[in-house]
Structure 1
Amino acid sequence: MTDTAVSIAEAVRTGRISASTSVHACLERIAAGNPKLNAFVAVHTERALAEAEAVDARVKAGEALPLAGVPVAVKDTIWVKGCRVTQGSALFADFVAPAHAIAVERLRAAGAVVVGMANSSEFACKGVTTNRLFGPTKHPMDPRLTPGGSSGGPAVAVAAGLVPLALGTDAGGSSRRPPAHVGVVGFKPSFGAIPYGPGFAEPFTGLAVMAPIARSVADAALLFEALAGPDPRDPDSAAVLPAGADVTTPTVAYSPRFGLDTPVDDDVAAAVDRAVERLAAAGWRVVRRDPVWPAGADETALMPLQHAGLAAIHGATFRADPTRFDPDVGAQIERGLTLDGAAVAGALRLSGEVARALAAFLLDVDLLIGPTTPCVAWSFDRLGPETIGGVPVPPRAHAAFTPLFNHARVPAISIPCGTGRDGLPVGLQIAAARGHDRRLLAAAAAAERILAGGSPS
C-alpha cells in the first residue's frame, strides 16, 4: 500500500526521500499488481523516472512543490503531451497527444509525476470500464466484478495501492461511482473549477470536469488545490470560493433517493442510514428532505445530450464503418443520429432547470447527502445489475444518483461509508452549492473522520 500523497510530498520536500525513490517504488507496485487488474493501459517507466529526477533537482533548487514526487495515474482520455492517449477507441489507437491538458500542466508544475494512463470505457461513455483495445478493468476485491465506469482504471489504481492519486473525468458520475464501488474518494468539482482541455472533442457539453481520485479527502483536496483556478484557454473556467464558515456541524439535507423514483438495494440503504446516524450523533444537523426536480428530470430524459454529442463527433465515421466502435457506444451514436433539434434543445432546457432547482434547494441547507450508487459492484461482463431493490432494472439504473449533480454544475464527492453484501464498499455522496468546493471538501474531511471513529475536527 502506498503512503498518502500528503506524506509523500512532505517527505520529498524535506529531503527524507527523493522523488526518484517514490516513483521507482510506485513503478514496482504497478508491475506487480497491474497484470491482475488492468487498471493501467500504459506505463511511462523511463519518462516517469526522468521526470522524478527533474523534480529532485527542482526541490534542491528551492522550489516549493505541493505535489513533490507524488506519482499520479491519468485517465486515458486526458491529453499528456507526447504520450499515446486512446479514449479506449480503435479510432485513436495510435494517437499521440500534441499538448498537455491544462490540468496535466498544473500537475507537473506542482511536482507530481505522471506514471501512466489508466483504463476507461470508450469515449468515457459507459458505466463499466471495458473497451476493445484493452479489455476490462477488474475490481481489486474480486476480479469477477467491475469497478463501474468510466474512470474505473484510475479508481482501481488508487484502491489497489498502485498510486496515491489519480486524475479522472466526470460528466455523469464517472469519477464518483467507481470510487464508491472500490472504497476510495472521488471528487467532482464545480463545473469550471479546474480548467478543461485542450483535448479530445467532448460529447458532454457544459458538464464534464477533471476529477481527483484518492484514498482520503485530504489527498483529494491536495490535488484539487494544485489544479483549481481559471485559465484563459478555457472560457468556462472560474475561481471557487474560500472554505468560509466552520463546517464541523453543518445543516444537512439527507435524501435516501435524492428525490428520484428509483430502487435502492437494502444493504446500500442500511449502510448509508448508519453513516448518517453517526454524522447526526457527532453534531451534524440532519433533516430528511428531498430536492424537488423539474418534472421528468432523470438521467433518461437528459441522455439525448450525450447521444447527440457522440453523433455530432463520430456519426459520419460510424455510418461509414460501425464495426470500429464498441457496440454499446455504437448504439448510443445510432440513437443520437435519430434525434431532432427539438429533442436536443428540450434536454438542454431541462438541464438548465435542474441547475436552477438544486441551486434553490441549497439556499436552505449547507449540504445534500445520500447514496453515491443504489447498489454495490456487479459482474464485469454486464452493463449493470439485472435487479436493484429486488426489482428488474434497465442497465443504467446503477447510475441514477450522480448525473443530476453534473447538470446542476455543483461540486459533489463520494466518500466510503461502510460495506454492503459480501463486504463490498458503499459510498456516501455529499453535494454543495456551486463554487463551494472548498467548503464541501472540509465537510467531507470531517465526515471521513467521524465515520472512521474520530472527532469531526
Structure 2
Amino acid sequence: MTKPVNSARGIAADVTAGRTSAAETAKAALGRIEAAKPLNAVVTIDPARTLTDAAAVDDRLRAGETMPLAGVPIVVKDNIWTGGWRVTQGSRLFADFVAPQDAIAIERLRRAGAVVVGIGATSEFACKGVTTSPLFGPTRHPLNPELTPGGSSGGPAAAVAAGLVPLAIGTDAGGSSRRPPAHVGVAGFKPSYGAIPYGPGFAEPFFGLSVIAPIAATVADITLAFEAMAGVDPRDPDSALIARDADDIAGPRIAFSPRLGLDVAVDDVVANGFISAVERLSASGLRIAQRDPVWPAGATEEAIMPLQHAGLAALHGDPFRQDPTVFDPDIARQIERGLSWSGADVAAALVASTAIANAFAAFFTEIDLLLAPTVPCVAWPLTQLGPDMIGGRPASPRAHAVFTPFVNHARLPAISIPCGTDAAGLPFGLQVIGRRGQDRTLLRAAQHIETMLRTFAK
C-alpha cells in the first residue's frame, strides 16, 4: 500500500494555497480507503457526508477563513462521538447508534478544517489488546495481513501506516494509541489526562484514565492535531490547563529505562534496538542516564485490571446477564470477572493505581523525560491475544502490554515514535514519557528525537 502523498501540515498548506481543494483531497482519501478494504482499518464510511463537509471547508477558505488543518482527511476511532456518523464501539449493542453530536475534540478538529473520511476499527469497548470486534472482525497489519496491529486503536493506526490518511484520532486508557502505532511504524501520542477535553460521548469503563490520542506519521503532525484539540472546556470538568511554553531540549534531565523498572520479558531485537537508539541519541548530544522508576510492592497490571473489569460490568452487566453471546468472548470474560469482584477488590485496585501514580510522581521530581520501550515484542498472529513467547519466556495474553498502562494511571503524557524493525521489517517503538502538564515540552523533545533517529538511520 502506498504512503500518503503529503503530511497533514503539507495538505493544509496546499489546500489553503489553492493548489488542491478539500473536496479533491477527500475524494482521494475515500479512494484509498476503498482500495484498502481487506485491511479492515476503516469500518464505516459516508462519502456523501464527507464530500459535503469537504465542500464546506472550501467555502470557508473562499470566504477568507484561516484553518490550520484545512482539508486534512482524518479517521476517527469507533468509540469517539462524531456527529451524524454511526459509532458502535465495535459492539452489537450499539450496531445502529448514530452519534448525536461531536465530541469536543472532533468539534475542534472540524473547526480547524479537518474532514472526517471514515471511522476506524476498535476492539469492543476499546478493552482488548488486539483489534477485532463482533461487528467487523479483525483489522490486519499493513505489512503482513496475517498479523495484528495490536489494539485497541488498531484501525486508526493501520489507516495512517497504510497511507489512507495522514492523521487519525484514537483513545488511550492503557496504551491503546501507543502500542498499535509502535507495531505498525507510526507515532502515537497519549496526552496528559485532561489536556484534551473528553466527551461528550459513551460512558467509559476506564474511570479517570482514558484520553483522546492523535496518531500520525510524524511528531509534527501530531503536534498540529494536539494544538487544535487541547484546552479547557467547561463541558468536561476534568479538562485542564497545560504549560504553554516548551523548555529547551538541551535543558531537560533525561533518563532511560530498558524495562521500566519491571521484571518483564523483552525480545532481544527490541531490547537491542532500544539501547542502540539511546546510544545514537547520546551521540547526538543529549545527556541521558540510566535510571529505573521504583515501584511499590505488588505493582503489576494484574493489580489494577479489576478497575477495567468492574467498569465493564457496571456498564454492560445487565445485557451480559441476559445474553453473554452478544459480546466478544474475551470481553464477556472481562465482564464476568467484573461481576465477581467485591467492593474491597475494586478499592484495592484503586489503592494500587494511586501508589503507581505516586511512584511515577516521585520519579519525575528528579527527571523531566523518560525513555523506555513502547512494546516488548513485534506484532503477532491476528488469531491470538498475544504472542506465545516474549524474550524466550512463555507469554501471558497481556505480556505485550507491560510498558504502557502505568503511564495512564499516573496521568502523564507519553508518545511512541518508531525506533527500529526486526529482520522481517516489523516495527517497534521508543516511548518518551514526560511530566504531567508538560505536553508541549514532551512533543518538542520527541520531534528532536525523531529527527535524530531518522538522521542516524540514513
TM-score normalised to structure 1 length: 0.98
Provide the rounded CA distance (Å) in 2 between the counterparts of 1:105 and 1:198. Answer: 10
Residue 26 of structure 2 corresponds to residue 23 of structure 1: yes
Q: Which of 326, 329, 335 is matched with 1:324 structurally?
A: 326
| Separation (CA, whole Å) in 1 of partners of 2:326 and 2:185 | 34
Paired AA for residue 67 in structure 1: L
Offset at 1:12?
Answer: 1.3
8 A Cα contact 1:248 1:443, kept in partner: no
Report the more deviating stretch, 417-426 or 268-277: 417-426
Residue 218 of structure 1 is aligned with which of 213, 217, 220?
220
**Hey, what does 2:7 align to over in structure 1?**
4
1:115: which partner in 2?
A: 117
Q: C-alpha displacement at 1:36, in angstroms?
A: 2.0
C-alpha contact (below 8 Å) 1:250/1:284 kept by paired residues: no
Task: Say which of 266, 270, 273 aligns to 1:271.
Answer: 273
Identity %: 64
After TM superposition, the structure 1 stretch with the greater mean CA deviation from structure 2, 378-387 or 360-369, is 360-369
> Would you say the 8 A contact 2:197–2:231 is kept in 1?
yes
Higher deviation after alignment, 290-299 or 184-193: 290-299
- Mapping of 1:5-404 within 5 angstroms? 5-33=8-36, 35-248=37-250, 250-404=252-406
Note the C-alpha offset of 1:320: 1.0
CA contact (8 A) 1:243 1:442 kept: no
What are structure 1's unaligned runs of at least 5 residues?
A: none
Question: In structure 2, what residue type is equivalent to 1:30?
Answer: I
| Letter paired with 1:437 | D
Separation in structure 1 between the aligned mates of residue 355 and residue 285 of structure 2, nearest angstrom: 33
Contact 1:252–1:368 under 8 Å retained in 2: yes
- DSSP-derived class of the 1:452 partner: helix
User: How far 1:21 sits from its partner (Å)?
Assistant: 1.4
Give the AA of the match of 1:14. A
- Structure 1, 424-433 or 19-28: larger mean CA deviation: 19-28
Give CA deviations for 1:200-249 in whole Å, capped at 9, x if unaligned.
11000000000000000000000000000011110000111124321146
- Residue by residue, what CA displacement relative to the aligned partner does 1:243-263 show, whole Å, maximum 9, x if unpaired? 432114642111000011110
Residue 88 of structure 1: how far off its partner (Å): 0.5
Aligned pair count reads 454
Greater mean deviation of Cα atoms: 174-183 or 41-50: 41-50
Which whole-Å deviations, capped at 9, do the CAs of 1:280-322 have from their partners, x for residues lacking one? 0011111111001121112111000000000000011101110
Q: State how far apart, in whole Å, the 1-side matches of 2:423 and 2:401 are.
A: 19
* Counterpart code for 1:162: L
User: Which consecutive residues of structure 2, in runs of 5 or more, have no partner in the other structure?
Assistant: none
Q: Is the 8 A contact 1:242 1:439 kept in 2?
A: no
Tell me how far apart the structure 2 counterparts of residues 421 and 439 of structure 1 sit (CA, whole Å): 34
Q: CA RMSD in A?
A: 1.1
- Supply the distance in 2 between the matched residues of 1:242 and 1:205 (Cα, whole angstroms): 27
- TM-score normalised according to structure 2 size: 0.98
Contact conserved, 1:294 with 1:357, CA < 8 A, in 2?
Answer: yes
**Alpha-carbon separation, structure 1, partners of 2:456 and 2:420:** 15
